[in-house]
A and B are shown apart, each in its own frame.
Chain A
Amino acid sequence: MTEMTETVVAPAPVEVQKGWGGQSVRRKEDKRLLQGEGVFVDDVKRHGMGYLHFVRSPYAHAHITRIDVSAAEAIEGVYGTLTGEEVAALTEPFFQISSAPGANIKDYSLAVGKVRYVGEPVVAVVAETRELARDASELVEVDYEPLPALVDARRAQDSDAPVLHDDAEGNLMWTGLYSWGDLDAAFAEADRVVKIPELHFHRFNSTPLECDGALVEYNRGVGQWTIHTNNQFPGFAAIMMGPAMQVGLDKLRFVTQDIGGGFGNKITSHPQLVVCCLLARKLNRPVQWTEWRTDFHLSMSHGNERWFHDTEVAVKDDGTLLGFRTKALDDAGAWLRYEPLGGVIWAQVTPGLYRWRHIELDFTQVATNKAPVSPNRGYSRMQHLWFTERVIDIVARELDLDPVEVRKRNYIRAEDMPYETPNGCVYDSGDYAGMLDLALELIDYESIPAKRAAAKDHGKLLGVGIGSTLDSGTNNFGQSRLINPELQFSGNNEVATVKLDIFGEIVVTLGTTPQGQGHETTAAQVVADILQCSVDDVHVRAGHDSYWNSHAGFSGTYASQFAVTGLSAVKGATEMLAAEIKKLAGAVFGGVPAEALELADGGVRIKESPDAFLPFMACGAIVNANNAGLPEDLDVTLNCRYVYRPPFEVPDVERKFGNLTLTYATQIHVAVVEIDPETGAYEIVDYAAVDDCGKRINPQIVEGQVMGATAQAIGAAIHETYEYDEDGNLLTPNFYDYHVPHALDMPPLATGALESPSPFTPLGTKGMGEGGGAGIHAVCAAIQDATGAIVTDSHNPYQRVWLLLQEAHA
């Protein structure tokens, strides 16, 4: 039996048929999760497995002068160890995305010769029990020669700065100048130039409740690893691991089922996975790794910390924004794991939501002795959109204009869509002004002056702020060539296979790795609409397994794309299956053409005489077990694999021009804060979130992620930060000091939705889920409104607000 695979460029969008699409169908995933029967990676057990514990660097920057594992290995029950020296002998350094100088760094899965951040894995110990591995790790002797640590990216290029990577001859990893339009003309035309010396977006991440982990088995006979893990982008992991381990990608089987949150933070666990693979082979037993909370905070996926220096904004007196120039300085931490893609990904939303055409951004990324940065919900667009929102509010303040009016004056208009930005990205659809009006209505904006006065009466300062952002989704990986023209990546893809099994079961397998986004449910909705059956009849397999061969190079769940890539693949595969079912029935009915047939009631029938009906079970049985007598040329397998490929061109590397993402969902949030001026402590007392992600297949699932993104943004705005002391020690290494919001911290929330379908996607859907950090922008704006001080930092804990108040009164 052969699988049918067809790859087709995305067809013109069609209306999702009335039926399951657009309904808030209850999730299929829930039953097992509610019963505690989900399978998360730490739930997976294998007989004889060894538990892995990493010995991690206590220094931010040091030479490793000696490693002695003998005392650890001598303990009964310790199965073995792995050091950087072994890793350097067994593997090649990881492929670097960057061009020079970042390209020259040598990144292995354990520290080799040097440690570059506190918490960096140095040695791995595997033992019979978790506790024993932990105990034995204390017997591993590592001698270090400490070096000065670099913790401020603004000092990274000083002549006397400590250098992390001698191979790069400095801490500069990547730099690029982006420039579009005519800045000289814009600044000449301007009535005023607003100058903002420094803006700072802070370091934090989404701290998914489940940390990273894996259980790796090695099959010696065929040289095959089975990697049970919660890595959310197996396509990327494979591309990184295969060449490093010098094995073909088919030797790396990734299996995921339930994942306890990802938010981008589970993309770069490949170094740890390589360690598990090497040990599984070396020790000839399954190796289990659980990352503890402190390990995660110390070492995994911090979000990009970014400064914007010497910003100049060309404006007219009426608040029209003509353009800006700025210097972006990005702190990548100690290693480039997914970086420097952050250096181009922001350009998906270069002008933010605004019509300015003349933009220059000088992007520099440097290495520091901090945890390596990699995607965090909103990845790189969030930092840039925070910047554009700060510019709007600061310009409004300077010109003494209403921030609502300045936004409306400058927003890209609904009638301008699809809108080509200065660098060639095409915003597909959206009504920003309309969304802002809805958000202001939900927050009862008219009542704010009275509320402000009432707050003042009881000694509090009230402020209101807007955050408008875009969630650009479905990447064109060709943008990587703007970072490094020699890279051979472009476009994107996702795969789905839909089959009709021998007893008529409809089975769907995806290449995606959901971490709570409801893929099983939404995929079933799309299938059920096409096959005209119930969602209960559609079985979507949980998670991802390379053995299903239902994945492609970019498979995974990241970057706000499932509703486009995953569901379009599902649509394509199901349409193929529907066509095959009709072809089969047509033959069985004695030569009836497809147009005369329809799918209904769990089968296929002749439209004009519905009694001629073949149930799906019969179709499945015929093809799988009873196929004698079928026409020789009948090209039907009922096992349809479809690869969705979004319509992209390779961007113009010279001009840095081209469409970098397919869809642009919009988020407009409004926050109301109440500040206690004596202490700087504040609360969010009201909040509205309006979201537009095109056609929503399951509105309840969409709203859930809007809410979750709101909560995370609020957490980041007020409390969440990865802050380091001058020696490179992380001051917030666990949930005790890194405070995330709990139930009592949540404000009242009103949500609203618009649906501006995307003209570029098969279902009219847009990717969503990252939320762009809109809450951070809104809270910053609200604090500025309440205090009268200009907010220049994305992170505003009580102390900072108190300082802003001192500043405002000075």
Chain B
Amino acid sequence: MDVTVTVNGTAYERDVEPRKLLIHFLRDDLDLTGSHVGCDTGNCGACSVIFDGVLVKSCMLLAVQANGANVETVEGLAEDDELTPLQQAFNEHHALQCGYCTPGMLMSATALLRENASPSEDEIKKALQGNICRCTGYWNIVEAVESVAK
């Protein structure tokens, strides 16, 4: 099936099988390997992207469902190779170790901050509940997001 998917502002026209998951379309067809696969039951959130302004797990969407949609991935966050305040906060607060969950965490945090610029600690945890991390224990990630909250 022919689809046109806009990712980080660029429109891509591709022919895809209906069964192809959006995460595989991003990683394999578009070479946007920043979003990751960490599980096979939709639990880990490493594949999280923003889809028409809404945070979703791209492993539970088909590429064909993204036809005509606007998708934002981690590669689209930084401008001109400069880290955003959120990304810098992750660095300052040591909110990543292996970095595998990090793109998903950044997208979830980005979605949260767009909706709520001053989230409480509990609201941050709730917003990150769909993103599994095995390295950090989450404390530094929550702290990093808190630090950029207004």
Contact = CB atoms under 8 A, between A and B. Distances in A.
Interface of A: 24, 26-27, 29-31, 33-38, 40, 42-43, 45, 130-131, 206-211, 258-261, 263, 290, 292-294, 515-518, 700-701, 703-705, 707-708, 710-712, 734-736, 740-744, 746, 749
25 contacts: A27-B91, A33-B96, A33-B99, A34-B74, A34-B99, A35-B77, A37-B34, A40-B33, A130-B24, A209-B132, A209-B133, A209-B135, A259-B98, A260-B98, A260-B101, A261-B135, A700-B94, A704-B135, A705-B135, A708-B134, A708-B136, A711-B136, A711-B138, A744-B125, A744-B129
Contacts of A37: 34, 75
Given A31-B83, A36-B74, A293-B38, A708 B135 contact: yes
Nearest to B43: A735
Contacts of A30: 90-91, 96, 99
Interface string B64-75: 000000000111
B4 interface: no
The SS class assigned to the A binding surface is loop
Given A34-B83, A261-B100, A744-B129, A704 B140 contact: yes
A261 B94 contact: no
B116 to A, nearest CB: 16
Interface of B: 17, 19-20, 24, 27-28, 31-41, 43-44, 46, 73-75, 77-78, 81, 83, 87, 90-92, 94, 96-103, 106, 124-126, 128-142
A43 B33 contact: yes
Nearest to A707: B137
B88 to A, nearest CB: 8
Contacts of B138: 711, 741-743, 746
A36 B38 contact: no
Q: Which of B41, B81, B99, B126 has the most CB of A within 10 A?
A: B99
Contact of B44 (A24, A43, A209): A209
B113 to A, nearest CB: 16
Contact of A207 (B37, B94, B134): B134
A31 B137 CA distance: 21
A746 B128 CA distance: 12
B94 A735 contact: no
A34 B135 contact: no
Contacts of B142: 743
Contact of B40 (A31, A45, A258, A294): A294
Contacts of B20: 131
Contacts of A35: 34, 74-75, 77-78, 81, 83, 87
Nearest to A290: B37
Nearest to B24: A130
B103 A36 contact: yes
Contact of B87 (A34, A258, A293): A34
A703 B46 CA distance: 24
Nearest to B83: A34
A362 to B, nearest CB: 35
Contact of A263 (B41, B83, B134, B139): B134
Contact of A711 (B36, B90, B137): B137
A516 B136 CA distance: 10
Given A40-B36, A260-B100, A740-B134, 11 more contacts: A30-B91, A34-B74, A34-B90, A35-B77, A130-B28, A260-B36, A261-B98, A293-B40, A711-B138, A734-B39, A746-B125
Nearest to B102: A33
A37 B102 CA distance: 11
A742 B100 contact: no
A17 to B, nearest CB: 24
A744 B139 CA distance: 10
Contact of A42 (B37, B77, B87, B90): B37
Contact of B97 (A42, A206, A292, A708): A708
A734 B100 contact: no
Contacts of A43: 27, 33
A87 to B, nearest CB: 26
B121 to A, nearest CB: 10
A209 B100 contact: yes
